[in-house]
């Protein structure tokens, strides 16, 4: 013992960082482990988690859900209006928004502004004030895109006359939908609703959508999974960077456009719009990821996360094993790079359905394939790689269809396991745009955020209850 105390002090500290600081001041060499109790220290949730770990019902369910996710083959098959794609859009006045359910009065500025713009686009009100009164009256149903197998970036707005991409999972025949990407600047998805914004939306309906529909008849269906995989090898992560994916889509669609009998002037307009918008493919990526995650949904007892979405106020997740139930918590702020003149005080909280890409194992999970993304969202290429590696700790496996050259072509981590998130204290990483908190200002930056742990703790409690009921029935 005397010899032990004569040796230099080397300590591994787990818990409060202040203990490590005191040891360093005393001259000791300290390795501090960033550890905290699982489930945010909630004892009952921790016990529920312990019951679910290695539970045979959950393990078998996760194998089934993950296999269905891997088998999904999303294909772009058509362009249709929302009212044609979604039957409920033909019933009364209905507008879909991003994230979990939220009432009009609780919505953030960009979503309220976008809802007003959609009401004006549909002709349900004569001016902005009348549109706001109509939205507040309750005469317009405001529901999540996810409730109708749809997704939309940022505010996520889909109204009856808007054209949608139709993506079909060839493995099971299920369809998913997304609106069109408007580009940057003053756009509806950031809450802008001026006449300029509405005119662009009308042009998309009258000119862009019919042209893409005609081109698809010439090209035939477009498989999205191989296109996304190739884009990952070209520097995209198909969430915040879509330059390569948009370019690959252009290679498919432009020859098809030229093969239609459309007027050359219309083809030129459409090509200019797509070529001038590097983010055009984002909405296709989202619809494809939604198709993959819907394939894994509704497997009883599975702890696999099938939805992550934000409405600018709350962050919500869904588990495969708990069906349509949302688990919500206050949305986290986004840490990143701001455009000149803007800062944290100007930003809305995390917003949009685009986290479906991370849910499917791309986006922030695939940042190792896109070192240039750090110029947009902040950090270093090493940080991007570390994020991709860390996500391997909270997932059920990897997706061999999506590989990362920087990690020796390892598959992207995929199949977020809520049990592992709660047990290991590692949250899913999400890279995202930052919207101004006021409607219509637009994007003011981009950065990195994560889902709140409270969502996953609540999901574990609910899943444990369903498993316990089954165990009680079986006994």
Is the Cβ–Cβ distance between 361 and 395 less than 8 Å?
yes
Tell me whether residue 385 is in a domain. Answer: yes
Residues 272 and 320 in one domain: no
Strand (E) or helix (H) holding 123 = none
Q: How far is CA 287 from CA 28, 164, 217, in A?
A: 54, 10, 20
> Which candidate, 16, 318, 277, places its Cα nearest to that of 153?
277
Provide the token pair at 49: 């988690």
Is the Cβ–Cβ distance between 98 and 144 less than 8 Å?
yes
Residues 259 and 404 in one domain: no
| Interval 411-431: pLDDT, tens | 999 999 999 999 999 999 999
Is the Cβ–Cβ distance between 322 and 461 less than 8 Å?
no
Strand partners, 446: 337, 433
Cα radius of gyration rounded to whole Å, the chain: 23
DSSP designation for 349: P
The vertex-179 CA angle with 174 and 183, nearest 5°, equals 145
Residues 56 and 78 in one domain: no
State yes or no: pLDDT of 165 exceeds 60. Answer: yes
Residues 96 and 191 in one domain: yes
Q: Model's pTM, two decimal places?
A: 0.93
Residues 27 and 52 in one domain: no
- The contacts of residue 162 (CB under 8 Å, 6+ apart) are 81, 82, 118, 121, 179, 180, 201, 204, 205
Strand partners, 168: 75, 175
Residues 402 and 260 in one domain: no
| Interval 231-246: pLDDT, tens | 999 999 999 999 999 9
Residue that terminates a domain, selected from 268, 286, 304:
286
- CA gap 231, 222 in Å, rounded: 15
- CA gap 192, 440 in Å, rounded: 3
pLDDT value for 26: 77
Strand partners, 336: 447
Mean pLDDT of all residues in the chain? 94
CATH code, domain with 335: 3.90.1700.10
What integer is the mean pLDDT of 271-292?
Answer: 98
Tell me whether residue 95 is in a domain. Answer: yes
CA 120 to chain centre: 27
State yes or no: pLDDT of 1 exceeds 60. Answer: no
Residues 367 and 336 in one domain: yes
pLDDT value for 468: 94
- The contacts of residue 268 (CB under 8 Å, 6+ apart) are none
Residues 458 and 310 in one domain: yes
Tell me whether residue 82 is in a domain. Answer: yes
State yes or no: pLDDT of 474 exceeds 80. Answer: no
pLDDT value for 279: 96
pLDDT value for 4: 62
DSSP letters spanning 173-206: --EEEE-----SSS-GGGT--SHHHHHHHHHIII
Tell me whether residue 291 is in a domain. Answer: no
| Interval 8-25: pLDDT, tens | 778 888 777 787 788 788
Query: What percentage of the chain exceeds 90 in pLDDT?
Result: 80
- CA gap 113, 457 in Å, rounded: 33
Q: How far is CA 28 from CA 10, 15, 18, 383, 469, in A?
A: 6, 17, 14, 29, 51
pLDDT value for 5: 62
What integer is the mean pLDDT of 321-348?
Answer: 92
Residues 45 and 29 in one domain: no
Residues 146 and 280 in one domain: yes
Q: How far is CA 256 from CA 54, 206, 219, 221, in A?
A: 51, 19, 5, 11
Provide the token pair at 191: 């809450």
- CA gap 51, 59 in Å, rounded: 12
Tell me whether residue 438 is in a domain. Answer: yes
DSSP designation for 457: H
Domain count, the chain: 3
What integer is the mean pLDDT of 327-354?
Answer: 91
Residue that terminates a domain, selected from 232, 251, 286:
286
Enclosing domain of residue 29: 2-33
DSSP letters spanning 93-117: SEEEESSS---GGG--HHHHHHHHH
Residue that terminates a domain, selected from 245, 263, 286:
286
Strand (E) or helix (H) holding 148 = none
CA 327 to chain centre: 15
Residues 368 and 313 in one domain: yes
Between 443 and 81, residue with greater pLDDT: 81
Question: Between β-strands 175-178 and 150-151, what pairing exists: parallel, antiparallel or unpaired?
Answer: parallel
Residues 282 and 246 in one domain: yes
Q: How confident is the model at residue 374 (pLDDT cuts 50, 70, 90)?
A: confident
DSSP designation for 195: H
């Amino acid at each position: 013992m005397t010899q032990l105390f004569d040796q230099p002090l080397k300590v591994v500290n787990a818990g409060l960082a202040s203990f490590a600081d005191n040891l360093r001041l005393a001259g000791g060499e300290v390795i501090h482990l960033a550890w905290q109790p699982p489930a945010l220290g909630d004892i009952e949730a921790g016990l529920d988690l312990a019951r679910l770990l290695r539970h045979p019902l959950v393990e078998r369910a996760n194998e089934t859900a993950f296999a269905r996710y891997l088998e999904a083959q999303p294909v772009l098959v058509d362009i249709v209006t929302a009212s044609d794609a979604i039957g409920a859009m033909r019933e009364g006045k209905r507008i879909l928004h991003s994230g979990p359910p939220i009432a009009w009065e609780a919505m953030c500025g960009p979503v309220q502004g976008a809802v007003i713009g959609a009401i004006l686009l549909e002709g349900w009100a004569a001016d902005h004030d009348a549109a706001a009164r109509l939205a507040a009256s309750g005469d317009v149903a405001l529901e999540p895109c996810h409730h109708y197998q749809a997704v939309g970036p940022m505010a996520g707005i889909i109204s009856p006359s808007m054209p949608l991409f139709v993506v079909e999972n060839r493995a099971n025949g299920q369809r998913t939908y997304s609106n069109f990407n408007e580009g940057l600047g003053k756009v509806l998805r950031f809450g802008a609703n001026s006449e300029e914004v509405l005119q662009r939306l009308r042009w998309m309906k009258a000119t862009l959508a019919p042209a893409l529909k005609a081109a698809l008849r010439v090209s035939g269906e477009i498989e999205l999974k191989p296109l996304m995989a190739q884009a990952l090898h070209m520097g995209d992560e198909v969430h915040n960077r879509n330059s390569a994916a948009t370019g690959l889509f252009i290679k498919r669609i432009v020859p098809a456009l030229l093969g239609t009998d459309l007027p050359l002037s219309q083809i030129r307009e459409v090509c200019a719009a797509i070529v001038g918008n590097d983010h055009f493919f984002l909405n296709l990526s989202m619809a494809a990821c939604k198709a993959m995650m819907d394939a894994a949904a509704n497997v009883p007892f599975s702890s696999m996360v099938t939805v992550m979405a934000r409405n600018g106020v709350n962050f919500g997740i869904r588990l495969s094993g708990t069906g349509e139930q949302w688990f919500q918590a206050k949305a986290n702020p986004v840490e990143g790079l701001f455009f000149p003149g803007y800062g944290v005080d100007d930003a809305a909280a995390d917003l949009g359905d685009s986290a479906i890409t991370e849910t499917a194992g791309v986006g922030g999970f695939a940042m190792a394939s896109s070192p240039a993304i750090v110029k947009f969202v902040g950090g270093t290429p090493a940080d991007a790689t570390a994020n991709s590696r860390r996500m391997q700790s909270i997932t059920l496996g990897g997706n061999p269809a999506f590989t990362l050259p920087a990690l020796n072509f390892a598959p992207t981590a995929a199949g977020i396991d809520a049990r592992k998130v709660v047990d290991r204290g590692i949250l899913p990483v999400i890279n995202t745009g930052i919207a101004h908190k006021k409607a219509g200002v637009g994007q003011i930056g981009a950065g990195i955020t994560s889902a709140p742990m409270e969502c996953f703790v609540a999901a574990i409690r609910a899943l444990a209850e369903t498993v316990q009921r089954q165990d009680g029935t079986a006994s």
